[in-house]
């Protein structure tokens, strides 16, 4: 796999985001809302770069099964979201079309947080279909499909400690080894 960002580069990027957020929030308590599952690795690393009092809430954003439009997203709260009057930082793994972040932001805003900012690990260039931009992006990437550091292909590769481009040869290797009923192991 072609590596885009290795562990050292990622660590520096997350530390930089942490330092920007420490400047933004100071010692004000915040609630970090993380969109499952892609942002778990970023969440774990980022919160250890933050020193204000903080709480974590997990949500899931999934496309409606059999939904009519591709942008139909369902926001599932994995516990009751208690964010009214709180300073909220929403994090996600990647900003691609932007539809996920727009929908989740709408949902969170309806719960009346005191403030709401967004931070994504990766920001894909040239693919946005929305007017909004994340407040913070750790890295910009070209329009390629990437895996690792939480990002998946068919739910695999989230555990890679680096970010890599999933190229045609990697896709073929994947279907040979990891698709259900794959012949060779």
Binding residues for ligand IMP, how many (CB under 6 A)?
15
CA 123 to CA 179: how far, in whole Å?
A: 28
* Angle, vertex CA 30, rays to CA 113 and CA 87, nearest 5: 25
User: 15: part of which helix (H) or strand (E)?
Assistant: helix 7-25
Binding mask 126-165 for ligand IMP (x = CB under 6 A): -------------------xxx---xx-------------
CA 61 to CA 75: how far, in whole Å?
A: 5
Q: List, as one string, the DSSP characters of 62-88.
A: EEPTT-SSTT-EEEEESS----TTSEE
Using the contact rule CB under 5 A, the part of the chain among 6-14, 30-38, 110-118, 122-130 near Mg ion is: 30-38
Could you say which of ligand IMP, Mg ion, none residue 95 binds, taking C-beta under 5 to 8 angstroms by partner kind? ligand IMP
Helix/strand/coil for 120: strand
> Please, which residues have CB within 8 angstroms of residue 67's CB and are 6 or more apart in sequence?
none
Binding-site member from 5, 32, 34, 38 for ligand IMP (CB under 6 A): 38
Q: Which residue is nearest to Mg ion (CB)?
A: 38
Using the contact rule CB under 6 A, the part of the chain among 21-29, 50-58, 77-85, 90-98 near ligand IMP is: 90-98
Binding-site member from 59, 89, 98, 117 for ligand IMP (CB under 6 A): 98
Of the pair 42, 83, the CB lying nearest ligand IMP is at 42
Verify whether residue 51 is a known catalytic residue: no
Catalytic residue among 8, 45, 96, 170: 96
Shortest spacing between CB 10 and Mg ion, in angstroms: 18
Phi, psi of 121 (to 5 degrees): -70, -50
Helix, strand, coil percentages (3-state) for the chain, rounded to 5, are 25, 30, 40
Shortest spacing between CB 112 and Mg ion, in angstroms: 28
CB 184 within 8 A of CB 177: yes
- Tell me if 100 contacts ligand IMP by CB under 6 A: yes
User: Which residues of the chain form contacts with ligand IMP (CB under 6 A)?
Assistant: 38, 92-100, 145-147, 151-152
| Catalytic positions, written as ranges | 96
């Amino acid at each position: 796999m072609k590596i885009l960002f290795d562990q050292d580069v990622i660590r520096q990027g997350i530390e930089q985001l942490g330092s920007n957020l420490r400047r933004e929030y100071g010692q004000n308590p915040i609630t970090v809302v993380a969109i499952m599952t892609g942002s778990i690795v970023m969440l774990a690393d980022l919160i250890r770069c933050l020193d204000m009092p903080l709480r974590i809430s997990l949500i899931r954003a999934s496309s409606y099964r059999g939904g009519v439009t591709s942008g139909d997203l369902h926001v599932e709260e994995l516990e009751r979201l208690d964010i009214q009057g709180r300073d909220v930082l929403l994090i996600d793994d990647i900003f691609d079309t932007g539809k996920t972040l727009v929908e989740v932001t709408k949902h969170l805003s309806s719960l009346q947080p005191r403030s709401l900012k967004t931070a994504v690990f990766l920001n894909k260039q040239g693919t946005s279909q929305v007017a909004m931009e994340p407040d913070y992006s750790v890295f910009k990437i070209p329009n390629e499909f990437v895996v690792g550091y939480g990002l998946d292909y068919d739910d695999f590769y989230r555990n890679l400690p680096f970010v890599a481009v999933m190229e045609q040869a990697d896709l073929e290797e994947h279907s040979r080894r990891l698709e259900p009923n794959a012949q060779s192991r």
